[in-house]
Amino acid sequence: MAGHDVVESDVLERVLGAAMRTGGEFAEVFIEDKRSTSAGLDDGRIEQVTSGRDRGAGIRVVKGETTGFAHTADLSEAGLRSAAEAAAAAASQGTGGANTVTLTRQPEHRVSPIERYADEVSKTEKVSLLQRIDEAARASGAAVVQVSAGYADSRKHIMIANTHGLLASDEQVRQHVRISVVANGDAGMQTGFQSAGHTFGFEMFDHIDVEELARDAARQALVKLGARPAPSGTMPVVIKRGSGGVLFHEACGHGLEADLIAKGGSVYRGKQGELVASPLVTLVDDGTMSGEWGAIGIDDEGHPSQYNVLIEDGVLSDYMWDYLRARKEGRKQSGNGRRQSYMHLPMVRMTNTYVLNGSDEPDDIVRATDHGVYIAQLGGGQVNTATGDFVFGMTEAYLIENGEITEPLRESNLLGNGPQVLRDIDLLGNDFAMGNPGTCGKDGQGVPVGDGQPTLRVKALTIGGTAA
Amino acid sequence: MSDLQEIADRVVAMAQPGEHIEAFVSRDSETDIRIYEGVVEHFVAAQTEGVGIRVIRDGRTGFAYAGVLDAAAVAEVLAEARDNVQFGTPDEWAGLAEPDGVDVIEQDLWSDALAEFATDEKIAIAKELERLTLAVDPRIRVDDANYADAASESAVATTTGIRRTGRENGCYVVVSTLADDGDETQTGFGFSVGRSPADFNLAKAATEASDRATRLLGATKPATKRTTVVLDPYVTASFLGIISSTLNGESVAKGRSLFMDRLGQTVAASIVTLVDDPTNPKAYTATDLDGEGLAARRNVLIDSGVLQQFVHSSYSGRRVGAKSTGNAIRGGFKGTPGVGCLALQLLPGQRDQSALVADVDDGVLIQSVSGLHSGVNAISGDFSAGASGLSISKGQLGGPIREFTIASTLQRMLLDVVEIGNDIDWLPMRAAGVSLVIRDVTMSGS
């Protein structure tokens, strides 16, 4: 499968011609062929190994402000033509002229070298990772009562051809492992979670110690057995390196997506060149970050991934762009046109979003905080991009008292406002790290993303606990 | 006989001695139309199909799927599933569902009117929704107005003698709004669902979308305190969705339900009766079959505050020495069935929301919550959610408030239920909405 085209370029040229028959201004064929393997362990057993095959094409036709889209799992010329005609009809009720397209192949743009493809690794080796995880987590303490773990790999070929003559392809490889631990104590059960994911091959597990990851998930559950209720009210919050990048993803990243900007659904509309954050903050979206979970060679519109500076020293420098939004503004796209699969339309999406290092020592940041909360792991979150209001789960957090990290806290949400948080960052560490792999959801589509940041302090956030 | 059933039958017929096979085959089609400023922004017409095959041998399970249905692909999926069997750990409870004699209560899940509905009429409905929404209030902008419909047919067959086909379709409209006042912007949404477009109430969707956004303009951040909350029906439905995961038989079997040792005990206020009833045709998720092809049925989970039973698939039931309650849930051909509630509802009380509010001396009407997936841990029971709504003082609704959280634990919230409204709302979720009063919740703000 590797290296060869799923569909020949002369077929694509004819299909694109058919797609333009109703007078479209732009047409595109996106082809995907993906094989995946996953394995789940729960309750001490390998419950199931799953093999999956997803293959198909999505065709869009743009005419004026309208996009018509159809997809098919039939990759024969007849199947593709029929989808092209459906997309063309969807984009327009009228008729236009014929259109001929000549495709020019783009050079490959690989950002993550692969040493060992997972489909060349035995399933035995894959499930043994899970067994090692189970043993390591259970050996962490007698209070560990349940462990579940999942392994997943995928190898995806994508091919994009459009009526501008672009013909681009990429191979996207991912490996992921996740661990959930339940511990039981006098005050009930607590949970711990860890995960790792990269766009490398199976060699990822030469560098990541899954047993260490399992022990960390167990440690988190065990520590929380003695946790007290989280406080309520507004206070300073210190966020450990690599655990809060998701906050920037949610709290401002989404608001910098050009499709939201265009419709006025973002608090950052019209703010280019303005100071929108503490001057300490430089925020980047970087699809080229080799091996990271959100790294891509090309985006799902065939544009090479890029390193894009969104906020520089607190000043908003640029938004993120896909083809349609860039076309409208007469500018270049930024490699942020992504989609979940061939069944979905592309839209503006992040890749790896992170805050660059500052100059403070992480220990000094805690010492400078008299009373507050230290977050060692943030869970999922949600943002309203129009208002900037967000919430996040704190899955591992501690009190800070008199400049020291003290007692663990039970889980709660953390609430704030994106633009306000960016201004309220008053200390920024020099210890940058990327965080856990994430899946970003937008408009019903999930895509893999990464995030990261150094240890930092936000002057005031609302902690949604129950304690006074 | 449908071509899907033929494929499923053919796979099952290939079972070798000592091997159990389940084949699930489905075909789905959807239309998705988005209108922005009176113009079609996108029009998606799509069809997907696929097969998922589960093979069990000597207590070991293997699974594979493919999003194509040609004979070669189906054969490859079966071979992959068989290959995957050897890597599973033997599990004495592993197995497929077996026919249990429970009669299927037929549901009317298919509308010919929707299947034949013309494309330009679908576009016209979405445009009309945008127009109606803009007309409600001058401060409203429409982010997008959408019409969508979906049709699905499926077939399942097993070597244990289950053989079922089903089909259903449905449609919805949803509109997203922005309300502006000076520098401030708030957001809202409104929707309407139906078996066919004749069921839509566009005017109601438009009004709700406008109201949800405008009612929060000028909202303030409240002070931190302990208080009584009145949950809007939509919020209650989300809350019940979380409660349902604690009543999941698989979580119970694997020791991660906080109610696992509480059968027969009081877990909620005595006015709380919680029922899972997919056979009620009013429920949005009404169905006649569960994900394993067994008859869907009515199950009383909490009766007058006492925990009666958990919901089970055939697997989780076998593990705890109970039977399947017809609660297997299948997310499509790409996975094996899990366990879950199908159509939850709290039995309603006697009074409407305004009467419930009138009895609250100091509290808040919660109109929306956020971060339920992040701030609630259904295993420890910790509950914390971002919220917005209206303050309540001496039985009267006051000004809008936002940027606060409400927190308690799931265990306490069930016991702290003060009253349930009579305003059951059959929302497009796995739980019905109803107004719900809960006391002693911590509100965290400034």
**Which residues in chain B touch residue A124, judged by CB atoms under 8 angstroms apart?**
87
Handedness of CA A184, A189, A190, A194 (dihedral sign): positive
A47, A11, A169: which is closest to A105 by C-alpha?
A169
Q: What pLDDT, in 10s, does the model give residues A408-466?
A: 999 999 999 999 999 999 999 999 999 999 999 998 999 999 999 999 999 999 999 99
What is the reported pLDDT for A192? 97
- Judged by a CB distance cut-off of 8 A, whether residue B416 touches chain A is no
A213: alpha, beta or left? (left if phi > 0; alpha if psi -120 to 50): alpha
- Judged by a CB distance cut-off of 8 A, whether residue B16 touches chain A is no
Contact B178 A386 (CB under 8 A): yes
In chain B, the percentage of residues whose pLDDT exceeds 70 is 100
Handedness of CA B273, B277, B281, B284 (dihedral sign): positive
**Residue B386 binned pLDDT confidence (cut-offs 50, 70, 90):** very high
What is the reported pLDDT for A1? 37
Stretch among A89-93, A180-184, B233-237 having the lowest mean pLDDT: A89-93
**Which tokens go with B293?**
């092809």
What is the reported pLDDT for B411? 96
What is the reported pLDDT for A89? 86
Instruction: Please tell me the distance from the alpha carbon of residue A201 to that of residue B139, in angstroms, as a whole number.
Output: 52
- Report the interhelical angle of A210-225 vs A123-138 (nearest 10°): 30
Contact B91 A47 (CB under 8 A): yes
Q: What pLDDT, in 10s, does the model give residues B73-128?
A: 999 999 999 999 999 999 999 999 999 999 999 999 999 999 999 999 999 999 99
Instruction: Please tell me the distance from the alpha carbon of residue B208 to that of residue B433, in angstroms, as a whole number.
Output: 16
- In single-letter form, the type of residue at position B210 comes to S
| Type and span of the H or E element at B155 | strand B140-158
In chain B, the percentage of residues whose pLDDT exceeds 90 is 94
What is the reported pLDDT for A93? 56
Contact A72 B47 (CB under 8 A): yes
CB-CB contact of A467 with A229 (8 Å)? yes
Q: How far apart are the CA of A95 and the nearest CA of chain B, in angstroms? A: 17
Q: Are strands A188-198 and A445-453 parallel, antiparallel or unpaired?
A: unpaired
pLDDT at B272 over 50: yes
A213, A154, A466: which is closest to B225 by C-alpha?
A466
Instruction: Please tell me the distance from the alpha carbon of residue B386 to that of residue B374, in angstroms, as a whole number.
Output: 10
What is the reported pLDDT for A382? 85
Q: Tell me: domain B3-214, CATH 3.30.2290.10, correct?
A: yes
Average pLDDT of the segment spanning A331-356 = 97
Contact B65 A466 (CB under 8 A): no
pLDDT at B45 over 90: no
Instruction: Please tell me the distance from the alpha carbon of residue A93 to that of residue A88, in angstroms, as a whole number.
Output: 9
Contact B407 A86 (CB under 8 A): no
pLDDT, greater one: A452 or A93 = A452
Q: What pLDDT, in 10s, does the model give residues A32-85?
A: 999 999 999 999 999 999 999 999 999 999 998 899 999 998 899 999 999 999
Number of inter-chain CB pairs under 8 A, A vs B: 246
Q: How far apart are the CA of B47 and the nearest CA of chain A, in angstroms? A: 7
Q: Find the CB nearest B88 among A46, A65, A93.
A: A46
> For residue A126, what is the nearest residue in chain B, using CA coordinates?
B87
Average pLDDT of the segment spanning A315-326 = 97
CB-CB contact of A433 with A440 (8 Å)? no
**Which residues in chain A touch residue B45, judged by CB atoms under 8 angstroms apart?**
68-70, 86-87, 90
Contact A48 B80 (CB under 8 A): no
Contact A413 B385 (CB under 8 A): yes
CB-CB contact of B77 with B65 (8 Å)? yes
pLDDT, greater one: A106 or B151 = B151
**Residue A169 binned pLDDT confidence (cut-offs 50, 70, 90):** very high
Contact A46 B87 (CB under 8 A): yes
pLDDT at A99 over 70: no
- In single-letter form, the type of residue at position A5 comes to D
H helices of B257-363, in order, are: 314-320, 353-358
In this prediction the ipTM stands at: 0.89
**Residue A90 binned pLDDT confidence (cut-offs 50, 70, 90):** confident
Average pLDDT of the segment spanning A143-155 = 97
What is the reported pLDDT for A108? 82
| Best of B58, B444, B446 to mutate (most A CBs within 10 Å, chain A) | B444
Contact B379 A232 (CB under 8 A): no
pLDDT at A250 over 90: no
pLDDT at B166 over 60: yes
What is the reported pLDDT for A91? 86
What is the reported pLDDT for A265? 81
CB-CB contact of B390 with B397 (8 Å)? yes
Comma-separated ranges of CATH 3.30.2290.10 domains in chain A = 118-156+169-225
> For residue A234, what is the nearest residue in chain B, using CA coordinates?
B446
Neighbours of B121 (CB within 10 A): 10
pLDDT at B209 over 60: yes
| Type and span of the H or E element at A337 | strand A337-338
**Residue A2 binned pLDDT confidence (cut-offs 50, 70, 90):** very low
CB-CB contact of A453 with A407 (8 Å)? no
Cα A19 versus chain centre, distance: 32
Q: How far apart are the CA of B124 and the nearest CA of chain A, in angstroms? A: 14
Q: What pLDDT, in 10s, does the model give residues A360-411?
A: 999 999 999 999 999 999 988 888 888 888 999 999 999 999 999 999 999 9
What average pLDDT does chain B have?
95
Q: Tell me: domain A118-156+169-225, CATH 2.70.98.60, correct?
A: no
Q: What are the structural domain ranges in chain B?
A: 3-214, 219-446
What is the reported pLDDT for A98? 54
Contact B446 A234 (CB under 8 A): yes
**Which residues in chain A touch residue B82, judged by CB atoms under 8 angstroms apart?**
none
**Which residues in chain B touch residue A55, judged by CB atoms under 8 angstroms apart?**
66-68
**Residue A94 binned pLDDT confidence (cut-offs 50, 70, 90):** very low
**Which tokens go with A21?**
């028959």
Contact A45 B91 (CB under 8 A): yes
SS3 B333: coil
